[in-house]
C-alpha cells in the first residue's frame, strides 16, 4: 500500500508538471524499470516522440524510467488496473500473468535471431499477444532483450555439450533455469548476481551465463574468459498497455500509438544488437575467447523440459515448424 501511494503521488506530480497551454489532449504514462542509458529505455523515449508526432501533438507519453513506479511485477499490475497506461516488461515476468507468454522463456526455443523474430512477428507471436487481452492488456510488437550464453573460467572452455558435464554453473534461482542446467549435465548453482565474480575467481563455480552486455559490464570476462555462444535463453521484452484505455481512445490516436510502437520496436532491436556487438568487441579486445558451437546437441538434451509444460506443447510444436 505504501508503494502504491508513492506511485500515485509521482503520477500526480507529473500531471501537475504539464505546461499550461500544452496541446496534448491525452497524457499517457509509461513505466520502465531500466535506467535511461539502456537501449530499451532509449527506445521507449523514441516511442513517446513518435506518438506525439503521429498524433499531431494530441497524445503525450511520459516515460518513467529507472523503476520510479516499481519493478516489473508491480508495473504489470498497475497497467492491468489502469494506474499506469503502459509498462515495458520482460516476457519472463509477464508469463506469470499470461501463461502462453511462457513459451518464449523456454531454453533453446529459438534456433537463432532470425527464427526468433519470424516466430514473434508471425502468427504465433500474434496469438500470444492476443492472449494478453484476457488479462486486460494490449501487447505491441516484441522487443529484443538479448540472448544468454555460457562463460567459464580459464582452462575450462565449453566447446561441446560434453564439456559441461559436472561443471558448477551459476544460474538464476528459477525452476526452468535449474532444470535446464541439470539436463545439460552440469550442476546448477544458484547465487546472487553480486557474488558471481568472486565465486568465479575463487573456484566456487566453474562458470555462469548471461548476455554479452552483462558479461562485459560485470567484468566477469576477467575471471571467466571463455564465452560459449549457445543462445540457451532468449526471452523477448514487450510493451503492454491497459486494454480499456486503448479501446477508449479515438481511432486516430489508436493508430498513432500502434504505428509508433511498431517503429520503436524495430529501432530497439537495432540499437540492442549494436550494444551487444560493442560489448562483444570490448571483451574480445580484453582477451576473452568467443566460442561458436553447434547448439543442436544442447537443444536435444533439454527436450524433456518441454513435456513438463503440457499446455504449451502445441505452441512449442508450431515454433519448431517455423522456418
28 and 60 in contact (C-beta within 8 Å)?
yes
pTM of the model: 0.84
d(CA 137, CA 147): 26
| Fold match, 2-145+235-277 / 148-234+287-321 | yes
Which residues is 254 bridged to in the sheet? none
207 and 158 in contact (C-beta within 8 Å)?
yes
CATH class in words for 2-145+235-277: alpha beta
Which segments within the chain are labelled E, that is strand? Answer: 26-32, 59-64, 86-90, 137-139, 148-152, 168-171, 187-190, 207-210, 226-233, 237-242, 289-292
57 and 24 in contact (C-beta within 8 Å)?
yes
Residue by residue, pLDDT tens for the chain (323 residues) are 444 444 444 444 444 444 444 466 899 999 999 989 999 999 999 999 999 999 999 999 999 999 999 989 999 999 999 999 999 999 989 998 999 999 999 999 998 899 999 999 999 999 999 999 999 999 999 999 999 999 999 999 999 999 999 999 999 888 899 999 999 999 999 998 899 999 999 999 999 999 999 999 999 999 999 999 999 999 999 999 999 999 999 999 999 999 999 999 999 999 999 999 999 999 999 999 999 999 999 999 999 999 999 999 999 999 999 98
> Domain spans of the chain?
2-145+235-277, 148-234+287-321
d(CA 143, CA 262): 10
| Structure confidence at residue 8 (pLDDT) | 42
Which helix (H) or strand (E) is 185 found in, with range?
none
The CATH number of 148-234+287-321 is 3.40.190.170
Nearest in space to 241 (alpha carbons), one of 265, 257, 262, 263: 257
Amino acid at each position: 500500500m505504501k508503494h502504491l501511494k508513492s506511485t500515485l503521488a509521482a503520477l500526480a506530480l507529473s500531471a501537475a508538471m504539464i505546461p499550461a497551454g500544452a496541446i496534448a489532449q491525452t497524457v499517457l504514462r509509461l513505466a520502465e524499470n531500466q535506467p535511461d542509458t539502456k537501449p530499451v529505455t532509449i527506445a521507449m523515449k523514441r516511442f513517446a516522440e513518435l506518438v506525439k508526432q503521429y498524433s499531431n501533438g494530441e497524445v503525450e507519453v511520459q516515460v518513467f524510467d529507472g523503476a520510479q513506479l516499481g519493478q516489473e511485477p508491480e508495473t504489470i499490475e498497475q497497467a492491468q488496473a489502469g494506474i499506469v497506461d503502459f509498462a515495458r516488461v520482460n516476457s519472463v515476468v509477464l508469463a506469470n500473468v499470461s501463461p502462453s507468454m511462457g513459451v518464449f522463456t523456454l531454453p533453446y526455443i529459438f534456433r537463432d535471431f532470425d527464427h526468433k523474430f519470424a516466430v514473434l512477428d508471425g502468427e504465433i507471436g500474434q496469438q500470444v499477444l492476443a492472449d494478453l487481452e484476457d488479462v486486460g492488456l494490449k501487447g505491441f510488437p516484441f522487443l529484443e532483450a538479448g540472448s544468454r550464453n555460457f562463460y567459464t573460467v580459464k582452462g575450462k572452455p565449453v566447446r561441446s555439450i560434453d564439456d559441461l558435464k559436472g561443471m558448477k554453473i551459476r544460474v538464476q534461482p528459477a525452476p526452468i533455469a535449474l532444470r535446464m542446467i541439470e539436463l545439460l549435465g552440469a550442476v546448477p548453482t544458484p547465487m546472487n548476481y553480486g557474488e558471481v565474480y568472486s565465486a568465479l575467481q575463487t573456484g566456487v563455480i566453474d562458470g555462469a551465463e548471461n548476455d554479452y552486455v552483462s558479461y562485459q559490464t560485470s567484468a566477469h570476462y576477467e575471471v571467466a574468459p571463455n564465452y560459449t555462444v549457445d543462445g540457451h535463453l532468449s526471452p523477448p521484452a514487450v510493451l503492454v498497455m491497459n486494454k480499456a484505455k486503448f479501446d477508449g481512445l479515438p481511432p486516430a490516436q489508436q493508430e498513432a500509438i500502434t504505428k509508433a510502437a511498431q517503429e520503436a520496436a524495430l529501432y530497439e532491436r537495432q540499437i540492442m544488437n549494436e550494444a551487444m556487438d560493442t560489448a562483444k568487441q570490448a571483451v574480445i579486445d580484453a582477451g576473452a575467447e568467443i566460442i561458436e558451437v553447434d547448439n543442436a546437441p544442447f537443444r536435444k538434451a533439454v527436450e524433456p523440459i518441454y513435456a513438463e509444460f503440457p499446455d504449451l506443447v502445441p505452441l512449442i510444436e508450431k515454433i519448431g515448424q517455423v522456418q
